[in-house]
Copies of this chain bind each other. A is one copy, B any other.
Amino acid sequence: SNAVRIAVMPGDGIGVEVTEAASFVLDRLARRHGLGITTETLQAGAFLYQETGTAMTEDTFRKAEACDAILLGAMGWPGIRYPDGTEIAPQLDLRFRLGLYAGVRPIRAIPGVPLALRDERAAKIDMVILRESTEGLFWARGRGEMIGDAEARDTMVITRATTERLARFSFRLAQRRAERLGRSQTVTLVDKANVFLSMAFMRRVFGEVAAEFPGVPHANHYIDAMALDLVRRPWDFDVLPMENMFGDIISDLGAGLIGGMGYAPSADIGDTHAVFQPSHGTGPDIAGKGVANPTAMLLSAALMLDWLAVRGAGQAWADAATELEAAVDGAFAAGLRTAEFGGVGTKDVTKAVADLIPA
Listed in ascending order, the chain A residues whose CB lies under 8 Å from chain B are 76, 84-87, 89, 92, 114-119, 137-138, 140-141, 144-146, 149-161, 192-202, 223-225, 227-232, 245-246, 248-253, 255-257, 260-261
Contacts and interface: CB of A to CB of B under 8 A. Distances in A.
Contacts of A249: 223-224, 227, 246, 249
B245 A257 contact: no
A153 B152 contact: no
A199 B230 CA distance: 26
A266 to B, nearest CB: 13
Contact of A156 (B153, B232, B255): B153
A199 B141 CA distance: 11
Contacts of A151: 157-160
Per assembly, the copies of the chain total 2
A87 B261 contact: no
Nearest to A157: B153
A127 B221 CA distance: 27
Nearest to A248: B224
Given A151-B160, A160-B150, A198 B144 contact: yes
Given A149-B160, A224-B249, A253-B253, A116 B197 contact: no
Given A158-B152, A224-B248, A232 B116 contact: yes
Given A144-B196, A146-B197, 7 more contacts: A85-B200, A154-B196, A155-B156, A227-B256, A228-B256, A228-B261, A229-B256
A146 B201 contact: yes
A195 B228 contact: no
Nearest to A202: B152
A249 B252 CA distance: 13
A261 B225 CA distance: 10
Contacts of A196: 86, 137, 140-141, 144, 154
A85 B199 CA distance: 11
Contacts of A76: 194
Contacts of A231: 116, 231, 253, 256-257
A201 B117 contact: no
B192 A260 contact: no
Nearest to A200: B85
